[in-house]
Amino acid sequence: MARPGDDVFAALGDPTRRALLERLSRDGPMTATELAPDWPISRQALTRHLGLLASAGLVDAARRGREVRYEVVAGGMDGAAAWMDEVGRRWDRRLSALERHLLERGTSR
Amino acid sequence: MIQRELRVPVPAGRLWAALTDPDELRAWWGSEVAWDLRPGAAARFGGDGGEPDRDGVVAEVEPGRLLRFLWWPAGGGEASEVCYELEDEGDSTLLRVTEAPAAPVACALDRWTATDGALLGLWASCMAGAAARA
């Protein structure tokens, strides 16, 4: 199973970027100017975060006149979600087996 | 990153043995695991549950408390970082397992907030938002 690119996980690893993604998914496409009032960070930092989300394919950046408008790409996280699902299930299976093993063997070692 | 917890009614030393001793692993992992518990030492994991064999390298060891290693499909493939953390509770032990794509991504991930639970919740929000505006 192919793993999504590191850029997707790197983009999702930052709590500010996750919050931006949450906001854009809830309220629809917005420009950095519209987002800025709710983010106590520099405009430079804000556009850098949005740029990383765009490079990772999680948002689409479209120029609207003089501003760029950012819109969530609905399927952008699909690959990451599928990977997390798959790997999570593997560990569920392994930990069940480990638990059974420990309970069967008892504490006699 | 993936994060799972398991509480077992055995002391930490017992759990550590189950996680690291090849004889124990053969019983529950289901295939051969060979490794030296020293940072930098090579590891080899037999495939489990239909999974491929994996090669790996041990990254960090605190006997009875923490084991961190990298692994990747034998013959090549993308590497992940796996971490076992054991919290001694006396008669029981809490095991926390995390798996994340290997560094540099692992460095970018906040271990405790960028969990699969949080990320899958966010994914659901993105899908719901798109559906609402469709």
Q: Is the dihedral of CA A63, A65, A68, A71 positive or negative?
A: negative
Over 90: is that where the pLDDT of B60 sits? yes
| Partners of residue B104 in chain A, C-beta under 8 Å | 6, 10
The span from the CA of B118 to the CA of B130, in Å, is 19
More confident residue, B54 or B109: B54
A107 closest CB neighbour out of B10, B100, B118: B10
Spatial contact of B126 and A77, defined as CB atoms under 8 Å apart: yes
Q: A100-104: long-range contacts at Cβ-Cβ below 8 A with a sequence spacing of 24 or more?
A: A100/B28, A101/B18, A101/B24, A101/B27, A101/B28, A102/B8, A102/B9, A102/B10, A102/B14, A102/B15, A102/B18, A103/B8, A103/B9
Over 70: is that where the pLDDT of B111 sits? no
pLDDT given at position A74: 86
Which whole number is the average pLDDT over B89-100?
Answer: 95
| Partners of residue A103 in chain B, C-beta under 8 Å | 8-9
Over 70: is that where the pLDDT of A25 sits? yes
The two three-digit tokens of residue B80, written as one number: 């992940």
Over 70: is that where the pLDDT of A2 sits? no
Over 60: is that where the pLDDT of A109 sits? no
From A88's Cα to the closest Cα of chain B, the distance in A is 6
The CA–CA distances, whole Å, from B127 to A28, A71, A72, B132 equal: 12, 12, 9, 9
Over 70: is that where the pLDDT of B46 sits? yes
Over 50: is that where the pLDDT of B134 sits? yes
What ipTM score was computed for the predicted complex, to two decimals? 0.83
Over 80: is that where the pLDDT of B28 sits? yes
Closest CA to B15 of A92, A102, A108, A93: A102
Over 80: is that where the pLDDT of A77 sits? yes
**Residue B49 pLDDT level (bands cut at 50, 70, 90):** confident
pLDDT given at position B48: 81
How confident is the prediction for chain A on average, in pLDDT?
Answer: 91
pLDDT given at position B129: 77
| Partners of residue B6 in chain A, C-beta under 8 Å | 95, 98-99
pLDDT given at position B32: 92
pTM for the complete prediction?
Answer: 0.81
pLDDT given at position A106: 55
Unique residue bearing structure tokens 């501003």: A67
Task: Determine contact: A48 vs chain B, CB below 8 A.
Answer: no
Over 90: is that where the pLDDT of A20 sits? yes
Q: Say whether A72 sits in a helix, a strand or coil.
A: strand
**Residue B105 pLDDT level (bands cut at 50, 70, 90):** low
How confident is the prediction for chain B on average, in pLDDT?
Answer: 87
Spatial contact of A13 and A52, defined as CB atoms under 8 Å apart: no
Most confident of B18-22, B29-33, B71-75: B18-22
From B35's Cα to the closest Cα of chain A, the distance in A is 18
